Amino acid sequence: MDHLNGRTAVITGAASGIGAALAAELASHGMSVVVADIDADGAHHVAGELRARGLPAIGARVDVSDPESVQDLARRSYDEFGSVELLCNNAGVLLFGAIAESSLGDWRWLSSVNVEGMLNCLHAFLQRMRAQQGWRHVMNTASTHAFLPDPRHTALYSATKHAIVGLSLGLRAELAPEGIGVTVLCPGQVATRILDSQRNRSEAFGERASEPFGTGVVPMAIEPGQVARDAVEGVLRDAPIVFSLPEHGREEFRAQVEELWRLTGTALGDHVEA
Ligand SMILES: NC(=O)c1ccc[n+]([C@@H]2O[C@H](COP(=O)([O-])OP(=O)(O)OC[C@H]3O[C@@H](n4cnc5c(N)ncnc54)[C@H](O)[C@@H]3O)[C@@H](O)[C@H]2O)c1
């Protein structure tokens, strides 16, 4: 049974990258989609391209770090389509940099968008979704960085993504009795504009940080369309976690997870094979 056909998805961060690919993939499964982003022009452009292919879509501006803006998005989505069966909390921003050299504004920006933004969306949509019947699902975008930061100074970003995995697995347990599924998506390197996240950083979060790896498209990466296909396949089988990463990144990621496991075993006094 296709749970998606004829139903509605709201996708945040959908003007670009993984979110735009998710919107296209979900629309191709017969969903009506709300393409939501702080970049209003980009959101309307993505939605317009889908409509030009005969697929039902609207663009909407939202700043996920602003609870009022997210409430507006929820009202608009329900007014337009009557119900929301799939909420994709995907908007996110990245910053590289050592903790000791970062500003509090850097942390507030990362955490306001990546973590509070997700909570704002859950608060705005969950009450309404819980009042509906039938198939419903929440998908939250974390990252492979949710398991251990890499050595290129990703601890702040990584901390926000740890939080998303924790929130998502907790939410999954909470909502299971109501028949609402929760999946956490953990992509690896994906060819998007995430290195240029500060293009949408509000002045309220202070000065822009330096960008030691430039602002180009992520190199040595998989295409966003592949991530979207993996994500939708995971949502349809109600997977708790979906990984989507390039072949060359698998060994590095496995080593990170094994390191976490080794640290845990050592701390517990277990003997863990090196
Ligand atoms: N690209 C990667 O390698 C990668 C890897 C792992 C996880 N991710 C995660 O995937 C998600 C999507 O990122 P992407 O790679 O497609 O990057 P992207 O920069 O192409 O897209 C992110 C989108 O989020 C939007 N956004 C930023 N702040 C917002 C706000 N306050 N409110 C609403 N929208 C906002 C941006 O305008 C942009 O359209 C993020 O959560 C990111 O952390 C990306």
Predicted confidence (pLDDT) per residue in 62-72, tens digit: 999 999 999 99
Give residue 110's identity as a one-letter amino acid code: L
**177 pLDDT exceeds 60?**
yes
Domain assignment of residue 19, given as a range: 8-249
pLDDT at 189: 94
Domains in the chain, number: 1
The pLDDT confidence band at residue 21, using thresholds 50, 70 and 90, is very high
CA triplet 132, 72, 95: central angle to 5 degrees?
Answer: 105
Mean pLDDT in the chain?
95
**Does a structural domain hold residue 74?**
yes
- Across residues 245-251, what is the average pLDDT? 91
65 lines ligand 1 (CB under 6 A): yes
pLDDT at 273: 56
pLDDT at 71: 98
Compute the distance between CA of residue 77 and CA of residue 34 in angstroms, rounded to an integer. Answer: 7
Helices (H), the chain: 17-28, 40-52, 67-81, 104-111, 117-131, 155-175, 224-236, 247-267
**Does a structural domain hold residue 261?**
no
pLDDT at 95: 95
> Which of 22, 37, 115, when mutated, tests ligand 1's pocket best, judged by the most ligand atoms within 8 Å of its CB?
37
197 CA to middle of ligand 1, Å? 7
Atom of ligand 1 nearest to the CA of 201: 28
129 lines ligand 1 (CB under 6 A): no
Atom of ligand 1 nearest to the CA of 191: 1
15 lines ligand 1 (CB under 6 A): yes
45 lines ligand 1 (CB under 6 A): no
- Across residues 85-97, what is the average pLDDT? 97
**Does a structural domain hold residue 260?**
no
Supply the residue whose CA is at minimum distance from atom 1 of ligand 1.
Answer: 190
pTM of the model: 0.96
- Across residues 167-184, what is the average pLDDT? 98
pLDDT at 272: 54
Give residue 94's identity as a one-letter amino acid code: L
Supply the residue whose CA is at minimum distance from atom 36 of ligand 1.
Answer: 13
110 lines ligand 1 (CB under 6 A): no
**Does a structural domain hold residue 245?**
yes
59 lines ligand 1 (CB under 6 A): no
10 vs 266, more confident: 10
pLDDT at 270: 75
The pLDDT confidence band at residue 244, using thresholds 50, 70 and 90, is very high
**271 pLDDT exceeds 70?**
no
265 CA to middle of ligand 1, Å? 34
Strand 57-61 with 32-37, pairing: parallel
Q: State the CATH number of the domain containing residue 164.
A: 3.40.50.720
Strand 136-141 with 86-89, pairing: parallel
CA triplet 19, 244, 113: central angle to 5 degrees?
Answer: 40
- Across residues 21-37, what is the average pLDDT? 98
194 lines ligand 1 (CB under 6 A): yes
105 CA to middle of ligand 1, Å? 18
**Does a structural domain hold residue 271?**
no
- Residue 16 CB-half CA count within 13 A: 21
> What does the pLDDT look like over 203-221, one tens digit per residue?
999 999 999 889 999 998 9
Atom of ligand 1 nearest to the CA of 190: 3
Q: So which residues are the catalytic ones? A: 157
**Does a structural domain hold residue 210?**
yes
Dihedral, CA of residue 115, residue 97, residue 217 and residue 23, to nearest 10:
0
**Does a structural domain hold residue 25?**
yes
Q: What does the block give as tokens for 174? A: 């909470």
**Does a structural domain hold residue 269?**
no
Q: What percent of the chain has pLDDT over 70?
A: 98
pLDDT at 151: 78
